[in-house]
Structure 1
Amino acid sequence: MSGIDLADYPWAVGVVHVLLSVLGLSMVCAAIRLLRGPSLPDRVVALDLLVVAAVAVVALLAWVYRQPSLIDLAVLLALTAFISTVALAWYVERSKR
C-alpha cells in the first residue's frame, strides 16, 4: 500500500486536515441528530452516517500512515454497519404494522 510522504507534499497536510475537519463536523452533526431524534428512522440514518464517516476517517488514516491493517478495520466496520442498518430497517418496518 503506498501512502503519501507528507514531507514531499506540504500541501497534503492541509488537505488531510481539511478532510478530517469536514468528516469530524459531519460526525458531530450526525451525533446530534442521533441523540435528538425526533423519530427512530431519523436515528437509524444518523447512525449510518456516523459509521460511514468513521469508516472514511479510518481509511484516510490508513492511507496517510501507510497501515494496511487499518483498511481491514474499515472494511469490518463497514460490514458491521451494513448488517446493523439492515436489521434496524427491518425492525422499523416491522414496528409500523
Structure 2
Amino acid sequence: MNTVWIIAAVMLSAAAATTMFRLLAGPTTLDRLVALDTLVAVTMCAIGTWAAFSLDSTVTYSLTALALISFVGSVSVARFRVPDKDKPRNKRGVS
C-alpha cells in the first residue's frame, strides 16, 4: 500500500512542477491564470491525498476554503483583467 502513496506523491509533484513551469513561462495573462487554477487544483488533490493517507478529516475544511477562494479569485481576475498589448492585430484592426 505504501507504493500507492509514493506513486501518488510523485505524480502530484510532477504535476506541480510542470504547472509551475507554465506559470512562470506563460506568454499571456490568461495562460498564467489557467496555470494558477491548475496549481490550486493540484494542491487540493494533494490535500485530499494527505487526508486519505493520514486518516485525518480535519484538513478537508481547507479544501472547501481553497475551492471558494480560488473560484472567486479566478472570476475576478478574468472579469477585470487588462488585455495584453503585445498581441498582433489582423488587417481589420480586430484582435
**TM-score, structure 1 as length reference:** 0.79
CA-based RMSD: 1.1
Runs of 4+ in 1 over 2 A off after TM superposition: none
**TM-score, structure 2 as length reference:** 0.81
Give a deviation string over 1:28-62, Cα, whole Å, max 9, x none: 11111111111000000000000000000001101
Q: Which of the two has higher C-alpha Rg?
A: 2
| Aligned-pair identity (%) | 27
Structure with the largest fraction of helix: 1
Q: Which has the higher contact order (CA 8 A, sep 6+)?
A: 1
How many aligned residue pairs are there? 83
Give the match for residue 7 of structure 2: 18
1:78 is matched with which residue: 67, 73, 78? 67
Q: Which runs of 5+ in 1 are unaligned?
A: 1-11
Quote the offset at 1:91 in angstroms.
2.1
Q: Which runs of 5+ in 2 are unaligned?
A: 84-95
